Amino acid sequence: LSATLMLLLAACSKSEPDSNVVTTPEDTTTIVEALAGVNDQGLKDCITSNAAEFEFRFIIDIVNLNCVSKGILDLTGIEAFIYITDLDLSNGGQPYNDFSDISPLSNLGNLEVLKLNYLRQLVNIEALSSLDTIRDFSIRNSRLTSIVGLENKPRLEILDLSENGINDLSPLAISSGSQTSLRQLRLADGCDCNSNTISDLSALANHVNLESLVNNSSAVTDISALANLTKMIDLSLRYN
């Protein structure tokens, strides 16, 4: 019996992790190596400071990246940071981010949260077409005139398009029975600034999980398309 017990204890001790062992991530691409492809100093500084704060060495460590108001003019090179899930490139003051090309983001296949608010040069988001992982997307108060690029986003739950120049929601249209996760949609808050003028809500007819819709100060005259959205608990259509 004692011999059996000794064997069991030996087996258990072997299964315990060695706290002194340094593990190497599957992807050993270093942040320094990836930064070689980043041209913009503001973007480079943002990534570098993020890595330094948390003592990150590898690109696999960069998951959340906040680059609000870093004076970024060019996103080239960010495509190497493929493990980013949460990215904020908005403006909140000076120095302003002032880029218009977001095509490097098309390679970020793990992206779930993306914020592109108050970007006055951004008019096109077609580069997002290939990203089907996004859950939360905000692009309020920019100069967007088209939402082409938001087609086929079955995981998208929260969408804020407020205060742009959008008048067509058709890229959001889905067929009856299609998978949809969209719960919250903001189109216009009702301020006097540049605003969307959306009159046709038919593209939302099959988004059966929609709970909140804000479209103030727009041009809606017919809400029959919302008739089957039985989960709606917050509907704001003031000043239409």
Q: Could you report the average pLDDT of every consecutive run of 10 residues in the chain (240 residues)?
A: 49 46 73 97 98 96 98 98 98 94 97 96 95 96 94 96 92 94 90 71 96 83 92 86
User: Tokens at residue 24, please?
Assistant: 């190497």
Radius of gyration of the chain (CA): 23
pLDDT of 9 reads 46
Contact 90, 119 (CB under 8 A): yes
- The pTM of this model reads 0.87
Distance CA 36, CA 203 (A): 43
